[in-house]
Chain A
Amino acid sequence: MIRRILAACLVFLTLALSAQAQDRTIQDVLQEHAEAIVKSSRTTIGPAIEAVANSGQPSAQTVLQKWQNKDMWQWSENGFFYAATVDGSEITLTDFDTGDIVATVAKGDVTQLKPNSGIRAMIGAALVQFQLNDPDAERRREALLAIQRDGEASHLAPLRASIETEDNPDIKALKEVTERLLTISFDKDDARRIAAIEGFAASLSLDARAALNPVLSAKLVYAEDLPETANIKREIKPGSEALSVSDAFALMVSAGAATAQPTLSERKSALTEHIIDGKVGGVPVAELTRQDARDHAYQALASEGLVPAFDPAFSMEAAVKGVRFAEVYDEPSAAVTDAAQKTLHTINRAVGVNQFLDLSLDGLSLASIYFLAAIGLAITFGVMGVINMAHGEFIMMGAYTGYVVQQIIPDYTISILVAIPMAFAVTFAAGVAMERLIIRWLYNRPLETLLATFGVSIALQQIAKNIFGTQARPLTSPGWLDGALVFNDVLAISYIRIAIFVLALIFLGIFLFIMKKTRLGLETRAVTQNPRMAASMGINPDRVNMLTFGLGSGIAGVAGVAIGLYAKVTSEMGTDYIVQSFMTVVVGGVGNIWGTLLGALGIGFLQKGIEWFNPSNTLAAQTYMIIFIIIFIQFRPKGIIALKGRAAGD
């Protein structure tokens, strides 16, 4: 035991000596802060990162980078930190200072350091000084992003110095923008700040707003004894939207300009404390079931001076009347706040326009999803008049087909290209089978088709559950559909939504082509208008009905693949779309594809519009949308585009 302690002392001594001898290694620095590093909390890690960054050791940058990437491990044998590469259950430890491989150990002997993203950001900020002039352009870009995320005043000087020597034009531009952002936040010189602020006029960058808004941060204050120098944003009347009377009074109380009245519950507990022999202030406790009796008892106590005074006639309105309240900027310089205010005004106008465009894109995208989900129904219900409650389950079948194809073909691009025709084929077959077996017997009983297809719908849902289980299944879009088309920081739309939009357009085209330009379309229109007449013209109504129904179902299957890509694949996904799809068709007007398109657009935009009015409750938006649809149908029962004449049927 003693020998061990001695040995430890010796080690410590050598460590201390070597530190004195100015040949400290980075390991020494790490060991000094070992406790904080292992604890790995953002609140205590600061000194450790700083020590490493400022150690002047050549390997400091490597340490920080390895640490940030969770590649630094601690060896339990000596407590030292090493860079590590994992190979199965074996871990190779490399010394930071020498770059030598120290040992290859089992996983149980070492602990990985897992800095959380807060610490990783701090490490990133510390790395800036190394990376700003790094030969690797990607590193320089990372450093600039780190500054934009977690800028510090100390970054300003090195950043400015590095702009001159930057030769990559992209990164140079980024550096200049970053420099202006830092200037706004940290520079001491007002003129420079104002120049930087004005440079962002009409900019849509989120970072610009993030830098400008803090400049304009303001507080509500009691303004009667405000110093002359205060940078006042505006005076505020109590009782306005910005400042309620009770808030204003609270400000007065906290400024010491008024005393608060005891609240209802304070008065009650005061009463409780002064119960003497079943009486409070002379009033028997049993009588205190009314507020006026309680007030009376309290007044009695107050007049004895036992409790703080309470004035029943007191009103906060009177107390705050004529008192000045103001919003005061935290930023002392009025010139800076004025400039920021002006710039932000131009920015907000541009942002407003772009937000509107973004909302429109969202609406368009939602409309295209509804349209895609409803287009199959526009054929089966709109053209043929068949109420297919299993339409949603055809969507689900399409999505599961996509999932199965993806299990067989691992390449996402090819699998999607295969899945679309496969989904069409599967649901086409299912649709034809359903038409032959069930629906054709019920053409004269439309309401009963509803029941029969509902039966099919719940059976299909349960079968899907039995085959695929109840968990959601992944349907992953190919890499080129990842991400979003970004116009600016406000206006963006994901590629998958664009793809759905394009798909919806394609199917609109296909539908129009088939209905207007092909024999099947002609025959379908003939059969739906008058089956007997069509039959006497040599058209086989059975065949036409079968193919039309199959077509509608097939399109639903393809829609299923698209919907599965952007949302989820579960056995119940169909139920999410069935009611919406029916409403899309009905609102648009049955029997007309343009009506369905208008219906989808109307519903999509309407829903987004309501969401915009009430952003915190999406459920309410959906409720009001449906109520709106109900009212709309009352006034236009045949939908937006109503068929006229013979085609309208009854």
Chain B
Amino acid sequence: MDFVKKHPSLPAFIATLLIFTLAVTFLSEAYGTGTMSTSFVKTLGKTLCLALVAISMDLVWGYTGILSLGHFAFFGLGGYMIGMWLMFARTKLIVVESMAAADIPATAMEIKDAVGTQIFGVVGSSDFPLVWMFAHSFWAQIALVVLVPGLLALVFGWLAFRSRVTGVYLSILTQAMTLALSLYLFQNDSGLRGNNGLSGLQNLPGLDAVSQDAVSIWFFWASAFALLVTYLIANFVVSGKFGSVIRGIRDDEARVRFLGYSVEGFKLFVFVLTAIIAGIGGALYYPQAGIINPAEIAPIASIYLAVWVAIGGRGRIYGAVIGAGVVSLVSTYFTGGQAPNINLGFYTIKWVDWWQVLLGLSFVLVTLFAPKGIGGLFDLISGRLSPSRKGAPLGPDQGSLREQEAEK
């Protein structure tokens, strides 16, 4: 109960998520009235996963002050890990079925070669690259969903924090990391099918008979559950002493270090934890999207992630969820071609052409005029307002979230 008291947003969030999940279920084609199309259910499910990774971004940026421009790399890696199993298992079922018709039953080696030929086609050889070593095992790949992003974050974070790379430099370094990873995956030699990536992920092996209407709802539930768990974990992490220390690091790293805390250790913990959350988010996202390829982890994706968090409101976890949800859904609306054109007489505004401009300008406006983002609206409701400081600097460091410090 104490925990809930500390986090007044928690019951509201859980209730909202629950109502939302139930509403979607009752409107869905598989388990409800069918008013909501499966493609929209998928969009909503994916949005929940994006909210998940936005929470991890908020933890690492809004609370710890590390503006990571590489968290989509972890998201993508999670997707690749689960994608490998999905592809392998699905192809194996097809291959075994087609080989059963042959005169001589196939050896295990032949089946593996045939799976390889199907997956890598003519692009590579039929030999499985080393990275596919565990692809046959569901549980091994599930473990890798957590391990691979976690290990990458551990190694990268350890190197970067140890040499005290901070601020903008760290942002650029993380951006370089995601760029390097996406370029590496773009190569066919990397063994993950290059630019084509892993596709057909929405078809779950052995569940051909189940329609996507049902599968989409399952994934929606899973995503909602994962979001809920992450929300709880995130709230737990940022509360209490640990939360105070990471906020301290955000506001003045040097002082926290002088107080005797191992700043590097705290940063590394948050960085690795958020990478794992992002990885899980990716593992849930890509089976709904159907395809993962290196373009997904291009640097721009991670910048967008930061923008969602900024628009939603940094330093509050529900802000990240709101930001990811709003931007992703509005974006779907405008690119869907459903938004009506505006005829100005001399010029017709087509939203397909102007949506990006609107999006870009809204980043600028939010940054300039609403640094608290959409989440700041809740402060208006609760009557929590920042005092006017008349332009005076807020704190000792030019940290990222000094408005918060001025609160109360």
Residues of A within 8 A of B (CB): 268, 271-272, 275, 280, 285-286, 288-291, 294, 385, 387, 389, 438, 441-442, 444-448, 450-452, 454-463, 465-466, 575, 579, 582-583, 586, 617, 619-620, 622-623, 626-627, 629-631, 633-635, 637
- Stretch of B78-86, B205-213, B258-266, B360-368 at the chain-chain interface: B360-368
CB of A530, distance to nearest CB on chain B (Å): 14
CB of B9, distance to nearest CB on chain A (Å): 24
B307 within 8 A of A: yes
A448 and B356 contact, CB distance less than 8 A: no
Top 6 A-B pairs ranked by shortest CB distance?
A455-B363, A459-B360, A462-B356, A626-B180, A458-B360, A452-B367
A623 and B164 contact, CB distance less than 8 A: no
Q: A466 is contacted by which of B163, B187, B189, B354 (Cβ under 8 Å)?
A: B354
Of A290, A458, A461, A622, the most chain B CB neighbours within 10 A belong to: A458
Q: Given the complex of chains A and B, what is the CA–CA distance between A465 and B168 in angstroms? A: 30
Q: B167 is contacted by which of A280, A442, A447, A460 (Cβ under 8 Å)?
A: A447
Contacts of A623 in B (CB 8 A): 180, 183-184, 187
Which residue of chain B has the shortest Cβ distance to A291 in the bound complex?
B107
Contacts of A447 in B (CB 8 A): 67, 167-168, 171, 400
* Sampled A-B contacts (14; CB under 8 Å): A275-B104, A289-B105, A389-B303, A442-B367, A451-B363, A452-B368, A459-B359, A462-B353, A462-B356, A462-B357, A466-B357, A617-B187, A633-B169, A637-B165
B167 and A446 contact, CB distance less than 8 A: yes
Residues 382-398 of B, flagged 1 when their CB comes within 8 A of A and 0 if not, give: 00000000000110001
Contacts of B186 in A (CB 8 A): 619
B159 and A634 contact, CB distance less than 8 A: yes
Q: Given the complex of chains A and B, what is the CA–CA distance between A592 and B353 in angstroms? A: 41
A455 and B306 contact, CB distance less than 8 A: no
Other 8 A-B pairs with CB < 8 A, given A444-B394, A446-B167, A448-B400: A275-B103, A288-B104, A288-B105, A438-B368, A447-B167, A458-B360, A579-B175, A630-B180
B183 and A455 contact, CB distance less than 8 A: no
Residues 66-79 of B, flagged 1 when their CB comes within 8 A of A and 0 if not, give: 01000000000000
CB of A588, distance to nearest CB on chain B (Å): 13
Is chain A's interface secondary structure helix, strand, loop, or mixed overall? helix
Q: Given the complex of chains A and B, what is the CA–CA distance between A619 and B107 in angstroms? A: 38
Q: A582 is contacted by which of B108, B172, B359 (Cβ under 8 Å)?
A: B172
CB of B104, distance to nearest CB on chain A (Å): 5
Given known A586-B172, A623-B184, contact A455–B360 (CB-CB < 8 A): yes
Contacts of B168 in A (CB 8 A): 385, 387, 446-447, 450
A458 and B356 contact, CB distance less than 8 A: yes
Given known A634-B159, A637-B164, contact A455–B307 (CB-CB < 8 A): yes
B243 within 8 A of A: no
Which residue of chain B has the shortest Cβ distance to A585 in the bound complex?
B172
B237 within 8 A of A: no
CB of B320, distance to nearest CB on chain A (Å): 14
CB of B171, distance to nearest CB on chain A (Å): 7
Q: Given the complex of chains A and B, what is the CA–CA distance between A461 and B398 in angstroms? A: 30
Contacts of B180 in A (CB 8 A): 623, 626-627, 630
Of A461, A622, A623, the most chain B CB neighbours within 10 A belong to: A623
Q: Given the complex of chains A and B, what is the CA–CA distance between A466 and B347 in angstroms? A: 12
B371 within 8 A of A: yes
B165 and A451 contact, CB distance less than 8 A: no
Given known A446-B398, A455-B363, contact A622–B107 (CB-CB < 8 A): no
B284 within 8 A of A: no
B148 within 8 A of A: no
A455 and B167 contact, CB distance less than 8 A: no
Q: A285 is contacted by which of B103, B159, B176 (Cβ under 8 Å)?
A: B103
Contacts of B364 in A (CB 8 A): 438, 452, 455-456, 459
Contacts of B310 in A (CB 8 A): 448, 451
Q: Given the complex of chains A and B, what is the CA–CA distance between A438 and B363 in angstroms? A: 11
A454 and B108 contact, CB distance less than 8 A: no
CB of B300, distance to nearest CB on chain A (Å): 8
CB of B399, distance to nearest CB on chain A (Å): 9
B106 within 8 A of A: yes
CB of A132, distance to nearest CB on chain B (Å): 50
CB of A338, distance to nearest CB on chain B (Å): 41
A620 and B362 contact, CB distance less than 8 A: no
Q: Given the complex of chains A and B, what is the CA–CA distance between A465 and B368 in angstroms? A: 26
CB of B123, distance to nearest CB on chain A (Å): 14
Contacts of A387 in B (CB 8 A): 168, 171
B160 within 8 A of A: yes
A289 and B307 contact, CB distance less than 8 A: no
Contacts of A629 in B (CB 8 A): 176
B109 within 8 A of A: yes
CB of A464, distance to nearest CB on chain B (Å): 10
Contacts of B172 in A (CB 8 A): 582-583, 586
Given known A452-B367, A630-B176, A633-B169, contact A286–B105 (CB-CB < 8 A): yes
CB of A441, distance to nearest CB on chain B (Å): 6
Contacts of A389 in B (CB 8 A): 303
A451 and B367 contact, CB distance less than 8 A: yes
Q: Given the complex of chains A and B, what is the CA–CA distance between A462 and B160 in angstroms? A: 35
CB of B71, distance to nearest CB on chain A (Å): 15
B360 and A457 contact, CB distance less than 8 A: yes
Q: Given the complex of chains A and B, what is the CA–CA distance between A505 and B103 in angstroms? A: 73
CB of A159, distance to nearest CB on chain B (Å): 49
Contacts of B105 in A (CB 8 A): 285-286, 288-289
Q: Given the complex of chains A and B, what is the CA–CA distance between A579 and B70 in angstroms? A: 13
Which residue of chain A has the shortest Cβ distance to B355 in the bound complex?
A462
Contacts of B164 in A (CB 8 A): 637
A637 and B163 contact, CB distance less than 8 A: yes
CB of A573, distance to nearest CB on chain B (Å): 15
CB of B158, distance to nearest CB on chain A (Å): 10
Contacts of B171 in A (CB 8 A): 387, 447, 450
Contacts of B307 in A (CB 8 A): 451, 454-455
Given known A446-B398, A582-B172, A637-B169, contact A458–B359 (CB-CB < 8 A): yes
